[in-house]
Structure 1
Amino acid sequence: MDKQIIFEDDHIRAIYLPGNSNTLVLSFGDLITRAKGLSINAEKSLMKYDYAVVGIMPKQKSWFPAASMAGLLEQLQPILKQFKNIVGYGGSMGGYAAIKYAEPLQMNRVVAMVPQYSIDPTEVDDKRYTDFYDAELNAEMRIQAQDIVADCEYIIVYDPYFENDKEHYLKIKPLIPQLHTLHLPYTGHDAIAVLANSALLHDFIERPYDQTYFYKQIREVKKNSKFYYRSVIAHLLGTHNEALGKILKGIDIQLDSTFFDASLKQTITRILLTNKRVDEQDLQKLGIQVNLAFEDKNQLKDYYGNILVFNVITQKLESYDQQVIDVNGKYIIPLHVENSGLAQVEIKKQTYLICMNDRRVIKLFKQDDALSLDMNPIVIRKCTDFYVLSYKDLYMSCDVQGQVTFDDESLNEFCHFKIS
């Protein structure tokens, strides 16, 4: 039998997908998987096991208002009566709804990934979603003790190190005496993407709870999840840089060039360059292609004594300690400086102008190439005791981490660069 819409109002759309299972899955969408045609949250995974499914999909960012859910319940009763085993599944906003409406929807098990307790700004400090709160629509929306079903099994998956989600978890936990908790460290709010796996979802729905078994299955899924590696890397940056550098060099992976965005790629390569010498294989494993360069002779030191370089991996200006440059000189090249003029760098014995646009995107141009209309060269000006670099009317400075910004409208000591 084909899917059919069994209820719809301004806020939710419910789609019924008949199956051949003895279990009915109530699959709640979230902010990302909102109502679109007859699509159902986690549809492919659920169809693989021929589950009967009701997809309860949000049309608005309104957190499944009670009035809408009451309207759905009236239409859903004939379907609910056909099943003794009813499982609610969802993440974030959908995880909230699975817990909140377990009692009227007669659930035996709830699987909630990173759920909210409430989005009422008077009830939570987390401000990610409070702009969506409607005092009339979402009145008394918080999960309360009377929402909890004594003979229903509850499983929550969340990252205990992510403070925003931890706040919600700590408010929900005292309300559910029989709660099972599975930790997914250093993944932030990305648990749904990290654990997107048909077999694991099937286990969450059907298998009796066994913490050891579930953690084993989660580990297997994480090994093959690019979302997991990306999320862990993003959350460890800045706090465990040295350890992360060793992990990145040690893992046996091959990523494509789009796996990391430009900002994360820049930070990762900085860690590799700073903490341990990189080679071609390390960079290729991370999906990073490099044009090798030759060293330049003249060097500029920033306020902190680090050398100003052009990073051929990230295509950005940065500053590094001289020792890092000494062992990674193929990838981070001190700028060529003589007198006042245009910033330039030499790669494979070819001199390039360093240019930038208003979006802070840096590109290299050969000296005889025409610049695109949005690009302007970075200018080096020699003063009595120091050099300054500027883009249009903004001066460049480096912070203690070696990150470069063009934000200063007037000169200060952080904008001064001296010949080493």
Structure 2
Amino acid sequence: MLFNEADLVVHHTPGDTPYLLVVFGPAGYGHTATHDYFGKVVSEKKRIETIGFAAKVDNWYMTPELDDAFEVIQPILQRFDKVIVVGMSMGAHTAIKQARRLKAHAVLAMSPKFSLDPEECNVPQQYLDKNFKPHMRGMGIKPEDDSERIIVAWDPMDSTDEEHAQLILAALPSASPVRMFYARHGVCESIAGADFMKEIIDSLRRVVS
């Protein structure tokens, strides 16, 4: 464990990959944040060098602690020429937002929300009740978040995810869409399995602009 504060935990899994994987996990796993992160089993089994961000609080990683955590991980980041960023749901928004800061070679954002700010888009009431806070206003994905290697994966049959994906693609002209029909919100389950996930992550390393 590299970092452990009130909102955020950051883990490190050593590996032997020529790239660094940075993962931002989904909401709903605060109870496991101190000992687990999204994709940890895959990283350990496949020896993928990984920094795993896990949220104790489902605040879309919009906490001042994120700046402190980034300072802590700098020595590891500096060891790698290629950084692959993967985010799921809540973490997918962060993966896009922090891609430039991480100097990401490629980003896989699975089922991302464009924003939770009701002034920017339609937001299901459950997110407004449980997650949205005043300091999150204006959190929407913006053109300045664009990168040539952002891949957005979602199920178009999920009406909320479809609406938010289209807003993201409109804001990020260079982003590549991957439509995963019948996957529902949990698109990560459609690509589950250590071998398959490792192949996908390796392919992201080979992505060129």
Give yes or no for TM over 0.5. yes
Question: Which structure has the larger Rg over C-alpha atoms?
Answer: 1
Counterpart of 1:146 in structure 2 is 144
| Aligned match for 1:172, one of 168, 171, 175 | 168
Partner Cα distance (1:13, 1:196) in 2: 24
Amino acid at match of 1:148: D
- SS for the counterpart of 1:37 is coil
Q: 1:114 aligns with which of 111, 115, 127?
A: 111
* Structure 2 equivalent of residue 193 of structure 1: 189
Query: In the aligned structure 2, how far is the partner of 1:121 from the partner of 1:105?
Result: 28
8 Å CA contact 1:13–1:58 kept in 2: the answer is yes
TM-score by length of 2: 0.89
Counterpart Cα distance in 2 of 1:187 and 1:15: 28
Contact preservation (8 Å) 1:126, 1:167: no
Q: Which residue of the partner structure matches residue 84 of structure 2? A: 87
**In structure 2, C-alpha distance between the alignment counterparts of 1:133 and 1:187, rounded to whole Å:** 26
Q: What TM-score, normalized by structure 1, do the two folds share? A: 0.46
Name which structure has the greater RCO, CA cutoff 8 Å, separation 6+: 2
Distance across 1 between alignment mates of 2:198 and 2:162: 26
Q: Which has the higher strand share?
A: 1
Measure, in 1, the Cα distance between the counterparts of 2:91 and 2:85: 9
> 2:41 is matched with which residue?
44
Q: How far did 1:166 drift?
A: 0.8
The code of the aligned residue for 1:7 comes to F
Decide which of 66, 69, 77 is 1:69's aligned counterpart: 66
Q: What is the deviation of 1:22?
A: 1.2
Counterpart pick for 1:156 among 132, 152, 155: 152
Report if aligned partners of 2:25, 2:88 keep a CA contact under 8 Å in 1.
Answer: yes
Post-superposition CA distance 1:2-30 (Å, at most 9, x none): xxx22233211111111111111111111
Checking the alignment, whether the CA contact within 8 Å between 1:158 and 1:182 is kept in structure 2 is: yes
Q: Is the 8 A contact 1:92 1:116 kept in 2?
A: yes
**Aligned-residue CA RMSD (Å):** 1.8
Counterpart of 1:31, as a letter, is: A
TM-fit CA distance, 1:178: 2.5
TM-superposed deviation, 1:149: 3.0
Shift >4 Å, 4+ stretches: none
Q: CA deviation at 1:66?
A: 4.9
Share of identical aligned residues, percent? Answer: 25
Q: What amino acid maps onto 2:151 in structure 1?
A: I
Q: After TM superposition, give the deviation of residue 141 of structure 1 in Å.
A: 1.7
Q: Deviations over 1:175-216 (max 9, x none)?
A: 323222211112321212232122222122111459xxxxxx
Whether 2:124 is the aligned partner of 1:134: answer no
Uncovered stretches (5+) of structure 2, i.e. residues with no partner: none
Q: How many residues align?
A: 203
2: CA distance, partners of 1:52 / 1:194: 23
